[in-house]
Structure 1
Amino acid sequence: MTGKTHIVGGIAASLAYAQFTNHDPIIMLGAGIIGALLPDICHSGSKIGRKFKLLSKLINMLFGHRTFTHSLLFLVIIATLLNAFTPNEAVKAGLLAGMVSHYILDMATKNGIKLLFPLSMTVRFPLTTRTGSKVESIVFSLLSLLSFYFGYEAFSYYL
């Protein structure tokens, strides 16, 4: 999936999760976007990879694309680090919701992800699409609609 689809997926996931918590939706929204981009640190051409070129190239050289940073192991490591160093529950929840949305979206692509890394098994949905395809455009549109819906619900408290 492209960066814009991951971003809107992170927005939808974090705002949906905000419906079930008392966390600040604005903080969850920002953290959700970061979380949605974080797994692609392994790809130097990604939005986050271009910001952290050296780190991105190092991670890609060590693990490749859609392996370690797209795994449950990475998710658990990030969750552990967040619990140790981030007191704000909204930041933790938003970041993890964004990461999970990224994993789900990439499992809908033909290449899938190595969710159980270090095992080499690729995980993908039975129906997949190509990155940048018309199907991805439809997914982007649906996620945008969900983002508006959950955003309205989350922020109606403030209105």
Structure 2
Amino acid sequence: MQGNTHIVGGITASLAFAQISNDNPFILVGAGVIGALLPDICHGGSKIGRTFPIISKIVNKLFGHRSFTHSLLFLFLVAALVHAFIPYESIIAGLLVGITSHILLDMGTKQGVKLFFPINISVRLPFTTKTGGKIEKVVFTLLTILSLYFSYELISQFVNVV
């Protein structure tokens, strides 16, 4: 999936999580977007890879694309690190929700992800699409509509409280 799809996926997942949590939705969404971009640090052409090119080259050289940074091991390591250094639950939740959304979206590509890294097995959803293809545009549109819906729900809850 492309960066814009991952961004809207992170927003949608964070807003959906905000429906069932007491976390600040603005912080959730901000951290969710960062989390949704983070796994692609292994790809020099990604939004985050272009922002941090040296780190991106090192990670890509060590692991390749869609392997370690797209795995459950990466998710658990990030969870342990952020729990150790970041005292704000909303930031932690947003980052982890964003990473999870990224991995799920990339499981919808033909390449899939090495979800169980270091085991070299690609995991894909039963239906896949080409990155940047027409189906991805449909996914992007649906995620945008879901984001608007979840935003409306949060605003409605806020108005009812006030």
TM-score by length of 1: 0.98
How many residues matched?
159
Report the aligned-residue RMSD: 0.8
- Report the residue type matching 2:85 in the other structure: F
Partner of 1:123: 123
- Residues of 1 paired with 2:87 and 2:23: CA distance? 13
The gaps in structure 1 that reach 5 residues or longer are none
Residues 1:47 and 2:47 aligned together: yes
- Report the residue type matching 1:137 in the other structure: K
Residues 1:137 and 2:137 aligned together: yes
- Residues of 2 paired with 1:108 and 1:16: CA distance? 20
- Report the residue type matching 2:39 in the other structure: P
SS of match in other structure, 1:19: helix
The answer to whether the 8 Å contact 1:114/1:123 transfers is yes
TM-score by length of 2: 0.96
- Residues of 2 paired with 1:10 and 1:77: CA distance? 19
- Residues of 2 paired with 1:154 and 1:41: CA distance? 31
- Residues of 1 paired with 2:79 and 2:152: CA distance? 28
- Residues of 2 paired with 1:30 and 1:152: CA distance? 18
Partner of 2:72: 72
- Residues of 2 paired with 1:148 and 1:109: CA distance? 25
SS of match in other structure, 2:127: coil
User: What is the aligned-residue identity percentage?
Assistant: 61
- Report the residue type matching 2:104 in the other structure: I
- Residues of 1 paired with 2:16 and 2:126: CA distance? 25
What does 1:77-156 align with in structure 2 at a 5 Å threshold? 77-156=77-156
Partner of 1:2: 2
The answer to whether the 8 Å contact 1:19/1:150 transfers is yes
The gaps in structure 2 that reach 5 residues or longer are none
Task: Give the drift of 1:41.
Answer: 0.3
Partner of 2:37: 37
- Residues of 2 paired with 1:52 and 1:93: CA distance? 23
Partner of 1:17: 17
Deviations 1:14-54 (A, max 9, x none): 01001111100000010000000000000010000000000
Task: Give the drift of 1:9.
Answer: 0.2
- Residues of 1 paired with 2:156 and 2:54: CA distance? 42
- Residues of 2 paired with 1:2 and 1:115: CA distance? 19
- Residues of 2 paired with 1:23 and 1:154: CA distance? 12
- Residues of 2 paired with 1:107 and 1:155: CA distance? 32
- Residues of 2 paired with 1:25 and 1:155: CA distance? 10
Partner of 1:56: 56
Task: Give the drift of 1:61.
Answer: 0.3
